[in-house]
């Protein structure tokens, strides 16, 4: 009974807030008899809850719940924080910025781990891309925003964090204790492969500067590289500018990405700066399901401009711009105000799911090949050693395909999708 009453309070307040916010944010005025009729129903429900609910509802709590419900109905990267929640978040940020090395999103309204940085605390503890996060230090994260959850995963170096995870293929949640640490691994690495192929791996674009990447790239060219592989697998962070800088090293001219508003109008067009250009050597870009955000901007630009062949698996799909709004109440509102598109007009982040992300020019491994590999390697999905072997074999298939493409005189140009 109590749960039903609370649900009614939430529902009524949510609908009232929905109409109110529509007017505030977009300057719309509800007009027409039908709209007023629907609003009248919402007000009637709201008044009934106020007058008939078994307890006197805390209207501040109800309002905050309604606001959160409204924002949660948008995309995963929108957030509403009350003043208390915002103050708590600020205190956690001030306590330290050591982390676990994971990138978060939401799927089916559950916190989802997109990527795990190599050599991070999360990787060492066995956290995997595709895991769902249930709780942090026994605090349920189901109703928290990505921003709040991410703040729970940062703090003073050497402090401990307990994670409860759900993983496909197992029946019980996993409970792991991790130690927060500052990033120690180099987010940019390079090496020479046989056939004068330079291999450039970028595992993080938020921890790597454009200058670091540029130096590694030029070092490969100086070492005699005639062809290049840019590995963006598991690279899921960074700003749009980081992705644009990376793409620009391989593009003398052309559009790198543009953003569009709710009307589909272009609000920002970012083009290559010839002064940042480094090389036109034949190029293959490697991506996977943990490639996201800035790395998707780079991969999409190089693909659409026919500058590179993209090999691997469809990327995750994170590509929206957020606006932070400080509320009079002291709370914080974060709204997605634009979406990023590749030069051909492909929206990187599409809430429909099937259309989101960057599709590779060449899928590797192919579906049948991936299934055969999984069947041959393990029948217990949570076997850590076999999982590692599966990932290594997948990486090898993708690298071999990239080398096969580069074995020709030049990486073949591909039509934009």
Say if residue 360 is in the same domain as residue 285: yes
In a domain, 114, yes or no: yes
CA distance 277 to 258: 19
Distant-in-sequence, close-in-space partners of 68: CB < 8 Å, separation ≥ 6:
80, 143
In a domain, 285, yes or no: yes
Whether pLDDT at 147 is above 70? yes
CA distance 131 to 111: 9
Number of domains within the chain: 3
In a domain, 252, yes or no: yes
Confidence of residue 54 (pLDDT cuts 50, 70, 90): confident
What is the average pLDDT value for the chain, to the nearest integer? Answer: 84
Weakest-pLDDT range from 119-123, 275-279, 361-365: 119-123
In a domain, 411, yes or no: no
**Would you state the pLDDT for residue 71?**
81
Average pLDDT estimate for 319-331: 89
Confidence of residue 46 (pLDDT cuts 50, 70, 90): low
Q: Which of 139, 156, 179 is the last residue of a domain?
A: 179
Average pLDDT estimate for 295-306: 98
Average pLDDT estimate for 237-248: 96
Say if residue 161 is in the same domain as residue 238: no
Which CATH number fits the domain that encloses residue 234? 3.90.226.10
CA distance 231 to 201: 5
In a domain, 325, yes or no: no
Say if residue 110 is in the same domain as residue 50: no
Q: Quick one: what percent of the chain has pLDDT higher than 70?
A: 83
Q: Quick one: what percent of the chain has pLDDT higher than 90?
A: 55
**Would you state the pLDDT for residue 339?**
95
- In the block, which residue shows the tokens 């006197």? 56
State whether residue 162 is helix, strand or coil.
strand
Say if residue 223 is in the same domain as residue 359: yes
Average pLDDT estimate for 306-323: 95
CA distance 74 to 320: 12
Weakest-pLDDT range from 14-28, 56-70, 138-152, 233-247: 14-28
Whether pLDDT at 363 is above 50? yes
In a domain, 196, yes or no: yes
In a domain, 329, yes or no: no
CA distance 398 to 261: 36
Q: Which of 130, 158, 179 is the last residue of a domain?
A: 179
Confidence of residue 42 (pLDDT cuts 50, 70, 90): low
DSSP state of 358: P
Which residue range is the domain that position 124 belongs to? 83-179
Whether pLDDT at 149 is above 90? yes
**Would you state the pLDDT for residue 318?**
95
Confidence of residue 23 (pLDDT cuts 50, 70, 90): very low
- Among 89-93, 152-156, 349-353, name the most confident range: 152-156
Average pLDDT estimate for 29-37: 53
**Would you state the pLDDT for residue 414?**
42
In a domain, 9, yes or no: yes
Say if residue 232 is in the same domain as residue 305: yes
Say if residue 170 is in the same domain as residue 196: no
The upper half-sphere exposure of residue 138, i.e. CA atoms within 13 Å in the direction of its Cβ, equals: 0
Average pLDDT estimate for 340-360: 89
Say if residue 162 is in the same domain as residue 250: no
Say if residue 7 is in the same domain as residue 69: yes
Whether pLDDT at 36 is above 70? no
CA distance 160 to 179: 5
Q: Is the pLDDT higher at 382 or at 352?
A: 352
**pTM summary value:** 0.84
């Amino acid at each position: 009974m109590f749960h039903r009453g609370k649900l009614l309070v939430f529902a009524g307040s949510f609908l009232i807030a929905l109409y109110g916010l529509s007017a505030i944010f977009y300057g719309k005025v509800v007009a027409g008899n039908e709209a007023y009729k629907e609003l009248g129903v919402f007000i009637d429900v709201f008044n009934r809850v106020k007058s008939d609910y078994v307890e006197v509802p805390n209207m501040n709590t109800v309002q905050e719940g309604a606001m959160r419900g409204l924002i949660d109905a948008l995309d995963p990267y929108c957030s509403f924080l009350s003043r208390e929640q915002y103050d708590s978040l600020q205190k956690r940020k001030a306590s330290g910025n050591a982390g676990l090395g994971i990138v978060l999103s939401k799927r089916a309204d559950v916190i989802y781990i997109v990527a795990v940085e190599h050599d991070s605390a999360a990787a060492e503890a066995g956290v995997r891309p595709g895991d769902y996060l249930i709780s942090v230090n026994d605090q349920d994260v189901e109703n928290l925003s990505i921003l709040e959850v991410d703040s729970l995963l940062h703090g003073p170096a050497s402090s401990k964090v307990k994670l409860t995870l759900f993983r496909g293929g197992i029946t019980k949640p996993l409970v792991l204790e991790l130690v927060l640490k500052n990033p120690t691994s180099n987010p940019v690495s390079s090496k020479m492969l046989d056939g004068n192929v330079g291999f450039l791996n970028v595992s993080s674009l938020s921890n790597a500067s454009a200058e670091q990447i540029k130096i590694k790239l030029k070092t490969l060219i100086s070492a005699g590289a005639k062809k290049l592989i840019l590995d963006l697998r598991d690279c899921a962070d960074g700003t749009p500018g980081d992705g644009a800088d990376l793409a620009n090293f391989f593009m003398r001219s052309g559009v790198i990405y543009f953003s569009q508003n709710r009307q589909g109008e272009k609000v920002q067009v970012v083009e290559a700066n010839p002064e940042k250009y480094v090389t036109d050597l034949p190029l293959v870009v490697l991506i996977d399901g943990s490639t996201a955000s800035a790395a998707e901007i780079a991969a999409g630009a190089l693909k659409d401009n026919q500058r590179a062949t993209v090999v691997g698996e469809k990327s995750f799909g994170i590509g929206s711009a957020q606006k932070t709004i400080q509320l009079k109440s002291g709370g914080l509102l974060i709204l997605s105000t634009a979406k990023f598109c590749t030069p051909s007009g492909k929206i990187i982040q599409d809430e429909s799911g099937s259309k989101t992300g960057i599709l590779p020019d060449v899928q590797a491994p192919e579906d049948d090949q991936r299934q055969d590999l999984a069947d041959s390697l393990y029948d217990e999905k949570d076997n850590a050693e076999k999982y590692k072997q599966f990932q290594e074999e997948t990486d090898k298939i993708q690298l071999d395909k990239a080398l096969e493409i580069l074995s020709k005189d030049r990486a073949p140009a591909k039509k934009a999708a």
